[in-house]
Amino acid sequence: MWSTKLFLLTAVLGCFAVCDSARILGVFTSPAKSHLIIHMSVVKALVERGHDVTVITTMPLTEKNKSYRHIHVPMPDSSAKQKVQMIQNKIDKPKPFWREFPEFFPKIINIANVTMNSAQVKKLMDEESFDLMILGYFFNDFQLGLAAHFKCPVIINFMIQPFTQLVDMSGTPREVSYVPNLFTGLKQPMGFKDRLWNFIYSEILEAVNYKLADWQHEKYYEAFFPRDRYPSLSDMKKNVSLILTNHHFSQGPVRPLPPAIVEIGGIHIKEKPDPLPTDIKQFLDSANETGVVYFSFGTHVASGSLNPAKAKAMFNVLSKIPFKVLWKWDDSAPFPGESSNILYKPWTPQDDILAHPNVKMFISHGGQGGVVESQYHGVPLLIVPFFGDQNANRESVENLGYGRGIRFQDITEEKFKELVNEVLGNPSYSEKIKQFSSLYRDRPMTAKQTAVYWVEYVLRHRGAPHIQSPLVHLNFFERHSLDVLAVIFGVLFVVLKISCLILCFVIRKIRGNKKMKFD
């Protein structure tokens, strides 16, 4: 009793002594609920510490009791329609990420542009001030200008392990010889073929895409933050204080990170699950002898966008297994069938469900959020990837032995049945993922504590240039020591050339002398 009171007192005093209540702006314009979940987890941790947080989002927030200020700038109807169409195309014809990128990038940046042009954001820029900005990163680099506008330090929050743009922005060495690019699905250690593909992917395919994206960012940046009043975009990219990444090294790969990248993997996972809705709780509790399969394709893939024949094939398999099945199915399509062991729900509290001890397998689209939740709770996976990083997540899960996967378009009743039986029947998946779960949870501070500590660190010191990697300020030649090598080889060349000339001169002299003697 006393110790808790004392702890609370120290916590409260500690906060007010060092950071008071800071005014923090969260800019989260990417049109994805799964991204928002990660960003809002950081916001909630900061609000609990007494900070005054304002967030700008394009997606609605469903929470009733908001302890932060919310500015909702809905994306235009045309973008919403495009987004649905884009997802449908990806479901029908999946492509590798570097080929997907040129299609979705203009749409993403357009949504960011619309947000910035909105009356609400303009008003905010005219009237308010902030001590810190948190940018939810999703190819929206030009919004870094907002931090220049408010003259405050900026922290980037990211949903997964940092990908190349953030790796470069933070001055993290790319190390393509042993650090697999996220989108290749490769794992460490990499053999020659892997290294070759990793190099081509990272240094050529992706580099071209991102160069083109950078030109767009410059254009948008100039429109909102003209050069006569603001620092340049490239200066702003060099002025990011910290990157929070929803990743943990135990997930791999192992790579060197500068101090300005802080891992808060699992920030969105509750340390203690919330109570489940009554019907779901009863359904899960009652399966203490059989076990439950939890099935959800997340928030983007509407049930109505699934090919009905494939959905039926999955139903045929799941309705016959000796397990209960909790299936997230929204009202955009009729159920694929009714069965006494299956409960359909349009919305499911995923993290709380995965925390339930009776859940034995998670059938997922392989979004990073769900994969991490499954890993945290030690539930083996069957992944049916659709787009983005999902297929890479599937490969990684298969490589690590945490489950199996199959592309949606490849699903047949036989193949699906085989995979379901394999993951449920072979204990190795469950053992491996439970072992990972204990590694993932073994840390000195929880994800929440880490996020709060480092955000307040940046607040206390008004930016954090002293933890920045100097690599940020080097150009291509300096970064690869090409200038140094040029000087070394230049000097070597000159020394060799001179030695040659001297040698030739001496030889000629000796020969000349000999000739003279014989004459």
Residues that bind ligand NAG (CB under 6 A): 65, 67, 113-114, 117, 148, 153, 219-220, 223, 231, 235-236, 239, 241, 285-286, 288-289, 462-463
Q: Which is nearer to ligand NAG, 117 or 426 (CB)?
A: 117
| 68's tokens | 């932060």
Distances in Å between the Cα of 394 and the Cα atoms of 151, 186, 466 are 42, 11, 38
DSSP states of 159-205: SSS--HHHHHHTT----TTTS--GGGT--SSP-HHHHHHHHIIIIII
CA-wise closest residue to 39 among 21, 54, 18:
54
Distances in Å between the Cα of 230 and the Cα atoms of 26, 145, 409 are 20, 8, 49
CA geometry: angle 507, 509, 510, nearest 5 deg: 65
CA-wise closest residue to 257 among 443, 473, 471:
471
CB of 241 to ligand NAG, least distance (A): 6
Q: Which is nearer to ligand NAG, 72 or 99 (CB)?
A: 72
Contact 296, 364 (CB under 8 A): yes
Q: Which is nearer to ligand NAG, 106 or 308 (CB)?
A: 106
Q: Which is nearer to ligand NAG, 277 or 304 (CB)?
A: 277
Residue 247 makes CB contacts below 8 A (sequence gap 6+) with 160, 161, 162, 263, 265
Q: Which is nearer to ligand NAG, 154 or 353 (CB)?
A: 154
- Point out the residue whose Cβ comes nearest to ligand NAG: 463
CB of 195 to ligand NAG, least distance (A): 37
CB of 451 to ligand NAG, least distance (A): 16
CA-wise closest residue to 295 among 260, 343, 327, 334:
327
CB of 443 to ligand NAG, least distance (A): 24
Give the C-alpha separation, 350 to 497, whole Å: 71
CA-wise closest residue to 99 among 208, 16, 251:
208
Q: Which is nearer to ligand NAG, 283 or 327 (CB)?
A: 283
Burial class from Cβ neighbours inside 10 Å (0-12, 13-18, 19+) for residue 443 reads middle
CA-wise closest residue to 333 among 308, 299, 365, 297:
308
CB atoms within 10 A of CB 193: 9
Phi-psi region at 85: left, alpha or beta (left = phi > 0; alpha = psi -120 to 50)? alpha
Q: Which is nearer to ligand NAG, 73 or 148 (CB)?
A: 148
CB of 462 to ligand NAG, least distance (A): 6
Q: Which is nearer to ligand NAG, 241 or 245 (CB)?
A: 241
CB of 146 to ligand NAG, least distance (A): 12
CB of 377 to ligand NAG, least distance (A): 20
CB of 219 to ligand NAG, least distance (A): 6
CB of 396 to ligand NAG, least distance (A): 35
Q: Which is nearer to ligand NAG, 168 or 218 (CB)?
A: 218
Give the C-alpha separation, 432 to 401, whole Å: 6
Query: Is the preceding omega at residue 349 within 30 degrees of 0, hence cis?
Result: no
Q: Which is nearer to ligand NAG, 5 or 466 (CB)?
A: 466
Q: Which is nearer to ligand NAG, 46 or 325 (CB)?
A: 46
Measured in whole angstroms, how far is the alpha carbon of residue 249 from the centre of its chain?
Answer: 13
Q: Which is nearer to ligand NAG, 72 or 462 (CB)?
A: 462
CB of 75 to ligand NAG, least distance (A): 11
CA-wise closest residue to 421 among 365, 380, 368:
380
Largest CA distance in the chain: 116
CB of 354 to ligand NAG, least distance (A): 20
CB of 288 to ligand NAG, least distance (A): 4
Residue 141 makes CB contacts below 8 A (sequence gap 6+) with 165, 214, 217, 221, 233, 237
